[in-house]
Amino acid sequence: MKTTTTVFHGTSARSDKNLGTDLQRRRNSAPAQTQTRTLLPLTSNPKASRFSERVHQANERSMDASGDEGLATGSDQLMQAQAELWNHIFAYTRSMSLRCAVELGIPDAVHRLGGAATAPELAAALSLPPSRAPYLRRLMCLLAHAGFFSVSDDDATASYRLTPLSRLLVSAPGAGGGHGLSPFALAMLHPVVVSPSMSLASWFRAADARTAAARVPFEAAHGGRDLWAVAKDDREFGAAFNDAMACDGRFVMDVLVRDHGDVFRGLTSLVDVGGGSGGAARAIAAAFPNVRCSVLELPHVVTGVPPGERGGVEFVAGDMFENVPKADAVLLKWILHGWDDEKCVRLLRRCREAIPSRDAGGRVIVMDLVVGSNPADEKATETQLLWDVMMMGVVGSPERDEREWRKIFEDAGFSGYKIVAILGIRSVIEVYP
């Protein structure tokens, strides 16, 4: 776990040995053993840089080489580059194969079959035509290579087992079961979400903001409707999207409350702004009975939550940009990344008005993505960048690095913040008035 704490200069906030230095000073002077991170800028991609360096070296060798051996070396490097290019070109096949596996129910089927199954056994369990078994074997081969399943071919027929990746997709909870994240995979790979990526180039070229292509690509692909309008009009997609947000929220909150509950200790009240049907608030209330939890949501969301399913959580109907109920802490879970800086600052100001002073324990708890929060993990950084471009196409709002988070916190009048990277590609940010 890595933590970054920052207090803005020119504020009245207290200082201690971990506080009072700005981001630039920490980047320039932090010793290697400290927990302070130097974040990667949005444009930095070490993996891509190394690949570009390899291609550059290959080109130099190809141009400078004399004789057949040198030409062969240059050709080998070019073929390696082509193979990597093809890998990127056809990477969508991996995502679509994952969607296929989830739609068919393959992770659940392997789980029901005792944790291991051959392709013919899977075909039978899934009620697929026997003629599809050879094709299913090819699908499973790709998914196994990608790490979704492990494969044992001690016998004549390969047997596939669950891995940590595919166990995330298994519906059955508990020991030996899964975490039920299949709805998230289905929603994020839904044609409604994926189709706008086909018009990114035309969106970039559009100079006139009045043209359809100049809007957010999602809106251009869906007749001018934004994500929320499409989710309302398309009941199938709307249900899939709601299921995705609910399962992701349960997963993250289970981890946060179980392993990192200190963020809620000492509070007597908390309001979850934009908290949907109250899953996060109920998880906090169950783990910390002394914390009075409430949810601020739009009126139609509040009326859609039956009183018998509220679990002791109070629901308040309202507009988060106009007023936030008073509480010791405000929770913004996966909210700010959906809005531009201006709207974020406006919302954060309402949150600051709702909480007591820092000395009295007031804080805003932001659960969101900080690009480059773990620069040593290239896969995590790449995933954050993938998510950023996806958000650019779907809602237009940016994912932010620490510098960008700092700016909106400061513009909203906060005195400091602490980033704790404990939720995979996401972080918990405590923001202090």
- Say if residue 55's pLDDT is above 70: no
Domain ranges in the chain are 46-89, 92-180, 181-259
Q: Which of 87, 81, 183, 100 is nearest to 140 (CA)?
A: 100
Give backbone dihedrals phi and psi of 296, rounded to 5 degrees, phi first: -100, 120
Q: Which fold has domain 92-180?
A: Arc Repressor Mutant, subunit A (1.10.10)
DSSP annotation of 42: T
- At 199 the pLDDT is 86
Whole-number Å distance between alpha carbons of 370 and 308:
37
Give me the chain's average pLDDT, please: 82
pLDDT bracket for residue 75 (50, 70, 90)? confident
Q: What is the CA radius of gyration of the chain?
A: 25
For residues 340-362, one letter each, b for 16 or more C-beta atoms within 10 angstroms of the residue's C-beta and e for the rest, the string is eeeebbbbbbbbbebbeebeeeb
- pLDDT tens for each residue of 24-34: 333 343 333 22
Residue 423 C-alpha from the chain's centroid? 9
Question: CA-CA-CA-CA torsion for 259, 265, 270, 276, nearest 10 degrees?
Answer: 10
**Each residue's pLDDT tens digit, 365-409:** 999 999 888 878 888 889 999 999 999 899 888 889 999 999 999
Q: Which 3 state secondary structure label does DSSP give 36?
A: coil
Cα 20 to Cα 27: distance, rounded to the nearest angstrom: 14
The yes-or-no verdict on residue 229 having pLDDT over 50 is yes
Q: What's the rounded Cα separation, in Å, for the pair 339 and 321?
A: 11
CB 421 within 8 A of CB 370: yes
pLDDT at 71: 54
Length of the chain: 433
Q: How far apart are CA 193 and CA 188, in angstroms?
A: 6
Single-letter residue type at 377: D
What the block records as the tokens of 350 is: 């309402």
Report the pLDDT averaged over residues 339-357: 95
What backbone phi and psi angles, to 5 degrees, belong to 420? -125, 115
- Enumerate the β-bridge partners of residue 330: 271, 364
Residue 2 β-bridge partners: 421
pLDDT at 61 over 70: no
High-pLDDT (> 70) share of the chain, %: 79
Q: Would you say residue 193 has pLDDT above 90?
A: yes
Percent of the chain with pLDDT over 90: 50
Q: Which of 111, 179, 222, 337 is catalytic?
A: 337
Judged against a pLDDT cut of 60, whether residue 35 lies above it is answered with no
Q: What is the pLDDT of residues 231-257, one digit of tens each?
A: 889 989 988 988 898 888 888 888 888
Q: What is the DSSP letter of 102?
A: H
Q: What is the pLDDT of residues 271-291, one digit of tens each?
A: 999 988 888 899 999 999 999
Q: Where are the beta strands (DSSP E) in 25-113?
A: none
Could you confirm whether 337 is annotated as catalytic? yes
Select from 315, 313, 289 the least CA-distant residue to 304. 315
User: What per-residue confidence (pLDDT) applies to 202?
Assistant: 86
pLDDT class for 213, splitting at 50, 70, 90?
low
- Whether 364 contacts 430, CB under 8 Å: yes
What is the structure's pLDDT at 209?
Answer: 56
Distance CA 249, CA 246 (A): 5
State the residue for tokens 């700010």: 336
- Residue written as token pair 């990608």: 146
Q: How far apart are CA 387 and CA 334, in angstroms?
A: 13
pLDDT at position 5 is: 60
d(CA 282, CA 246): 12
Give CA separation, 340 vs 207, 321, 407, in Å.
20, 13, 12
341-354 vs 402-411: helix axis angle to the nearest 10? 60
Q: Smallest Cα–Cα separation from 366: which of 407, 316, 426, 286?
A: 426
Task: Give mean pLDDT, residues 49-71.
Answer: 48
Does residue 268 register a pLDDT over 90?
yes
Please work out, in degrees rounded to the nearest 5, the angle formed at the alpha carbon of residue 78 by the alpha carbons of 76 and 83.
95
- Res 43: pLDDT: 36
Q: Write out pLDDT tens, residues 115-162.
A: 999 999 999 999 999 889 899 999 999 999 999 999 987 667 789 999
